[in-house]
């Protein structure tokens, strides 16, 4: 894949700004902590293992990995997220390095890590093949590649479909993030370089919101991609239309009651051995 350096630099700057907008660390604390722990567990991280968490955000998977005794490097495109992760009380005293890095151009040596993982992070890199190639490159032969990604058929996939009519056109070559939660897409990205012995769909239960539409309000206030899409909708005079679509999305996915919302957000846990 040939990438125009200037265009790529501008795209990554926009991504960095988008994820620095809102308050993603608050979202992690509100309902996302379990997926990080699940990935560290699923990857089989243990003492003295060299772990790289790619697109790590606030270290949601990195911190549980370090708590298991691993030596962990976290990398993310957005320095504000790394800084927030380094300040987390549960990160103190652990073996964690926090390094700003692009998932599609990782600044690490070949075969440098025993475990290379990403929890709902690398899936947002726009060029999927480039990111997958980097995950393989920095993992040692016989090491583990472990990913946890929202699925296209699940709640996050539907959120992106809901937002798409209000979004700016995607840049050339960019692919939808939820594709990483498709078994077929994932196997296509890694080919015979990684033998995935675990491909398991599970759900994150979310009960943090009293009313279903509170979930949508939370995303409009704190989630960078939703903030960006709503701003684009407002620019086009469609903010109220966007809000109504998001309300219907929340109602559609609510499995709870009118006074206590409950959502089940599907993800794919993929764990494999690097050849």
Give the C-alpha separation, 154 to 146, whole Å. 20
Residue 233 located in a structural domain: no
Residue 222 located in a structural domain: no
Q: Are strands 50-54 and 71-76 parallel, antiparallel or unpaired?
A: parallel
User: If phi over 0 gives left and psi between -120 and 50 gives alpha, with beta otherwise, what is residue 48?
Assistant: left
Task: Tell me the three state secondary structure of residue 63.
Answer: helix
Number of structural domains the chain divides into:
1
Mean pLDDT for the chain overall:
97
Task: Tell me the three state secondary structure of residue 227.
Answer: helix
pLDDT per residue as tens digits for the range 111-132: 999 999 999 999 999 999 999 9
Structure tokens, 113 = 């890590």
Residue 146 located in a structural domain: yes
Question: What average pLDDT does range 211-235 have in this prediction?
Answer: 98
Task: Tell me the three state secondary structure of residue 36.
Answer: helix
pLDDT at 171: 87
Judge contact between 178 and 160, C-beta under 8 A: yes
pLDDT per residue as tens digits for the range 139-167: 999 999 999 999 999 999 999 999 999 99
pLDDT per residue as tens digits for the range 23-81: 999 999 999 999 999 999 999 999 999 999 999 999 999 999 999 999 999 999 999 99
Residue 209 located in a structural domain: no
Domain extent at residue 14: 5-161+168-204+267-274
Residue 129 located in a structural domain: yes
Structure tokens, 211 = 């009313």
In this structure, how many other beta carbons lie within 10 angstroms of the beta carbon of residue 3?
16
* 268 sits in which H/E element: strand 263-274
Residue 253 located in a structural domain: no
What is each CA distance from 8 to 5, 158, 171, 226, 232, in whole angstroms?
Answer: 5, 27, 10, 22, 21
Task: Tell me the three state secondary structure of residue 139.
Answer: strand
Closest CA to 104 of 24, 176, 174, 170: 174
Residue 240 located in a structural domain: no
CATH at residue 194? 3.40.50.150
Residue 215 located in a structural domain: no
């Amino acid at each position: 894949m040939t990438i125009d350096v200037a265009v790529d630099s501008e795209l990554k700057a926009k991504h960095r700004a988008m994820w620095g907008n809102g308050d993603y660390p608050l979202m992690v604390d509100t309902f996302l902590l379990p997926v990080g722990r699940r990935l560290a567990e699923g990857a089989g991280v243990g003492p003295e293992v060299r772990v790289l968490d790619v697109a790590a955000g606030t270290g949601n998977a990195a911190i549980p990995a370090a708590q298991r005794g691993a030596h962990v490097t976290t990398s993310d495109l957005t320095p504000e997220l790394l800084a927030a992760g380094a300040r987390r009380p549960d990160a103190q005293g652990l073996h964690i390095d926090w390094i700003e890095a692009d998932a599609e151009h990782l600044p690490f040596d070949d075969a440098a890590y025993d475990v290379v993982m990403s929890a709902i992070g690398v899936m947002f890199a726009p060029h999927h093949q480039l990111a997958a190639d980097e995950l393989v490159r920095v993992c040692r032969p016989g090491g583990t590649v472990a990913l946890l990604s929202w699925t296209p058929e699940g709640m996050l996939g539907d959120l992106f479909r809901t937002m798409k009519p209000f979004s700016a056109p995607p840049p050339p070559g960019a692919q939808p993030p939820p594709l990483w939660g498709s078994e077929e897409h994932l196997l296509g990205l890694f080919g015979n370089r990684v033998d995935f012995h675990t491909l398991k769909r599970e759900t994150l239960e979310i009960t943090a919101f009293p009313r279903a539409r509170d979930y949508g309000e939370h995303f409009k206030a704190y989630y960078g991609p939703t903030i960006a899409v709503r701003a684009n909708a407002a620019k086009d005079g469609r903010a109220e239309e966007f809000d109504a679509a998001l309300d219907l999305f929340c109602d559609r996915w609510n499995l709870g009651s009118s006074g206590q919302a409950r959502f089940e957000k599907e993800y794919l846990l993929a764990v494999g051995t690097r050849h």
